[in-house]
């Protein structure tokens, strides 16, 4: 039986694996990528602009309420499987654990996954309790409470355009809205109220997220990099909640659509792709394989 992994704190707010070096994974490439509207797409987000007869074949990777919900192209599925075999691929999502578990990605199951915007670090499908305690301490020390923010959201939102109000994993809140009726400037006003309280606001499709600033994908990615001994980190994402992740990686990519594209967001280590919709997801996977030195599959798929 292998020696179990433990974590200790080497500095305030930093978790370090103390698994003996003989049993730790070899240094590798870590790929931490957002899922929705980055690698997988709902039907409205596909942006298939070509004639129907020329549209790519799609693979459904998520079912919700007995209906297909999320897709990628078949070529992307082939690239995805190769990426999962040759790198430490870490799904990195704002989805709750329950929402994440609906997604069935190609290739071997990831050892690590980051859910709830960094609030949960899954190891072989189970949330790491040390990481949970670390996150809860930071939230208690560094930002206003979820109850305070949620109360403000409920007071400020107009039932005329508010469809749902939800709390995710007792960590952050979000609203589902009718975008056509959402007043111009409302999200900006909410962000200005939330920022001094230590919270971030992000508009993604029909959802307005209010997330504590200490709750980040990048912190969880660094923890996985420490545990795996990764020497190279790659990342991709499309929204404001992905910005810290993209900045923290050695190399990162964003598609030509989404919240970051709309704002013109850039960074020194960031490559901005022209592709939009599901084609962007396929291109991001090619870029991951090329940057990790495993681009054989990318060449084969691209040549079709």
Cα distance between residue 75 and residue 52, in whole Å: 17
Per-residue pLDDT tens for 249-291? 999 999 999 999 999 999 999 999 999 999 999 999 999 999 9
What tens digit of pLDDT does each residue of 26-45 get?
458 999 999 999 999 999 99
Average of per-residue pLDDT values in the chain: 90
Q: Mean pLDDT across the stretch 141-148? A: 97
Written as six digits, the tokens of 2 are 């292998």
pLDDT of residue 292: 95
For residue 168, the model assigns a pLDDT of 96
193-220 confidence digits (pLDDT tens):
999 999 999 998 899 999 999 999 999 9
Instruction: Evaluate whether 71 touches 8 at the Cβ level (below 8 Å).
Output: no
Q: What is the largest CA-CA distance in the chain?
A: 60
117 DSSP 8-state letter:
G
Predicted confidence (pLDDT) at residue 4 exceeds the cutoff of 90:
no
* 12 vs 144: which has the higher pLDDT: 144
């Amino acid at each position: 039986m292998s020696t179990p992994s433990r974590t200790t704190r080497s500095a305030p707010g930093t978790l370090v694996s103390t698994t003996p070096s003989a049993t730790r994974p070899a240094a590798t490439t870590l790929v931490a990528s957002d899922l929705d509207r980055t690698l997988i797409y709902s039907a409205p987000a596909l942006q298939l602009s070509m004639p129907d007869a020329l549209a790519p074949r799609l693979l459904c990777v998520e079912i919700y309420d007995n209906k297909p919900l999320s897709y990628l192209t078949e070529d992307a599925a082939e690239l995805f499987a190769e990426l999962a075999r040759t790198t430490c691929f870490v799904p990195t999502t704002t989805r709750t654990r329950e929402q994440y578990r609906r997604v069935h990605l190609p290739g071997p199951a990831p050892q690590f996954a980051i859910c709830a915007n960094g609030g949960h670090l899954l190891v072989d499908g189970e949330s790491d309790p040390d990481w949970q305690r670390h996150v809860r301490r930071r939230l208690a020390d560094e930002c206003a409470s979820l109850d305070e923010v949620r109360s403000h959201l409920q007071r400020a939102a107009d039932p005329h355009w508010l469809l749902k109000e939800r709390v995710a994993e007792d960590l952050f809140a979000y609203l589902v809205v009718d975008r056509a009726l959402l007043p111009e400037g409302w999200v900006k006003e909410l962000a200005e109220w939330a920022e001094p309280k230590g919270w971030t606001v992000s508009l993604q499709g029909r959802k307005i997220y209010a997330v504590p600033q200490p709750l980040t994908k990048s912190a969880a990615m660094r923890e996985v990099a420490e545990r795996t001994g990764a020497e190279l980190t790659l990342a991709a994402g499309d929204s404001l909640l992905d910005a810290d992740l993209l900045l923290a990686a050695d190399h990162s990519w964003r598609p030509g659509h989404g919240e970051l594209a709309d704002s013109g967001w850039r960074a020194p280590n960031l490559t901005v792709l022209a592709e939009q919709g599901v084609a962007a997801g396929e291109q991001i996977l090619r870029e991951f394989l090329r940057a990790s030195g495993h681009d054989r599959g990318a060449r084969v798929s691209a040549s079709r």
